[in-house]
């Protein structure tokens, strides 16, 4: 199963944000164990760095990005992805870009704790706990 991780799930793990960290860590573990192929949209790396830098400093934020690059494959963002995202109704362009990158990469699902941001996605949208239960 090929799964795109929303940036918020990654941030929940890296920042140990309660109450979401436990389920997000379980979803991460599936990728670590090779039970799923985990992906991040290319834009998520910069978003993760930017938000982490504010809380943990730039050196540690970059270290987390490097770790993410070893764990996740990259769902590309190019003109086709951005064009597709721009045509989606709604105001959350970032989530539309993530969903479009997952769709154009032929992934199977998106894991997020904000399913409302992916209402228009054509892929299956799962919470981290749902992904862990589905795969185990």
* Nearest alpha-carbon partner for 104 in 2, 29, 27, 15: 2
* Nearest alpha-carbon partner for 25 in 71, 76, 63: 71
Note the pLDDT of residue 116: 87
CATH number of the domain within which 88 lies: 3.40.50.1010
Q: pLDDT per residue over 37-77, tens digit each?
A: 999 999 999 999 999 999 999 999 999 999 999 999 999 99
Domain of residue 43 covers 2-135
Domain count across the chain: 1
Please tell me the pTM assigned to this model. Answer: 0.94
């Amino acid at each position: 199963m090929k799964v795109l991780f929303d940036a918020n799930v990654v941030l929940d793990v890296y920042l140990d944000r309660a109450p979401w960290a436990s389920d997000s860590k379980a979803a991460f573990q599936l990728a670590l164990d090779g039970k799923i192929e985990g992906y991040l949209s290319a834009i998520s790396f910069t978003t993760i760095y930017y938000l982490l830098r504010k809380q943990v400093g730039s050196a540690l934020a970059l270290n987390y990005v490097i770790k993410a690059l070893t764990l996740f494959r990259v769902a590309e963002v190019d003109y086709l992805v951005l064009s597709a995202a721009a045509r989606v109704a709604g105001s959350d362009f970032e989530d539309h870009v993530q969903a479009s990158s997952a769709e154009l990469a032929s992934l199977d699902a998106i894991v997020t704790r904000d399913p409302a941001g992916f209402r228009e996605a054509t892929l299956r949208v799962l919470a981290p706990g749902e992904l862990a239960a589905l795969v185990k």
